[in-house]
Amino acid sequence: MRPARAGGTTIITTTTMTTEQDGFLRLLTWLSPAFPTGGFAYSHGLEWAVESGDARSTAGLIGWLVDILEQGSGRTDAILMRHAHQAGNNAEALEEVAELAAGLPGGRERWLETTAQGRAFLDAAAAWPAPVLGLLAGRPVAYPVAVGAVSAAHGIAEDRAVLGFLHAFCANLVSAAVRLIPKGQQAGLRVMAALEPVLIDVCHETRGLSLDDIGSAAIRADLAAMHHETQYTRLFRT
């Protein structure tokens, strides 16, 4: 109930938040840089890509991120997230997706990046209780699986959750690049603007795909994550 004044008269209005609006606000909170998943500590191999010269310019950074989104872990995470979302409270289906996702990373640091963020996300999301949190307890959980399952539990539409996740993934990498290259904030914003149609395309393209459609051709990005393990100077964990 919220009082409002009109012409000296107090009017009582009632604001009702729909389930959809409620879920959207939660998604914004969960994908915010302030949500304690520790995403700021990971560069997804970008630190090595900058050092090697692959992503040292604005054009190079955009190309690097487009490849990851369209042919690498971005596309893979979107598919995994969709299947975790569709599994809902089906323990068997959710376990299948969780086991596959935890086994896919091609290196130690990539595995750490996705499972550490996945566990941190589930721990923080416990502020919004849901039965699915119990289904994912006591196992390594990849970040997209955690976000997909919890989003479904709170009635957040699959496409909205996936697009939000992909956007947050890129925003985190652009933030890392701004510090690594270094680039100014305006350059980072231009990168995010350039990625908008790609994010939408990947969201649409992954709709309806099966787990058998998962595959990656972003080989240099995978190698970057492996090279980062032995990089001489490092600011990020991956």
In a domain, 212, yes or no: yes
In a domain, 235, yes or no: no
Tokens read off for 211: 């787990």
User: What percent of the chain has pLDDT above 70?
Assistant: 92
pLDDT (tens digit per residue) in 87-119: 988 999 999 999 999 999 988 999 999 999 999
pLDDT at 18 over 80: no
Return the DSSP state at 137: T
In a domain, 210, yes or no: yes
User: Residue 12: helix, strand or coil by DSSP?
Assistant: strand
Overall number of domains in the chain: 1
- Contact at 8 Å (CB) between 31 and 165? yes
pLDDT (tens digit per residue) in 125-135: 999 999 999 99
In a domain, 12, yes or no: no
**Which contacts of 33-38 are long-range, i.e. CB under 8 A and separated by 24 or more positions?**
33/171, 33/172, 33/175, 35/121, 35/124, 36/120, 36/124, 37/117, 37/120, 37/121, 37/124, 37/143, 38/116, 38/117, 38/120
Q: What mean pLDDT value characterizes the chain? A: 92
In a domain, 11, yes or no: no
pLDDT (tens digit per residue) in 167-179: 999 999 999 999 9
In a domain, 21, yes or no: no
CATH code, domain carrying 138: 1.10.4190.10
Structural domain span for residue 46:
38-228
| Residue 16: per-residue pLDDT | 40
Tokens read off for 45: 């191999």
- How many Cα neighbours within 13 Å face the side chain of 105? 24
| Residues forming a β-bridge with 13 | 2
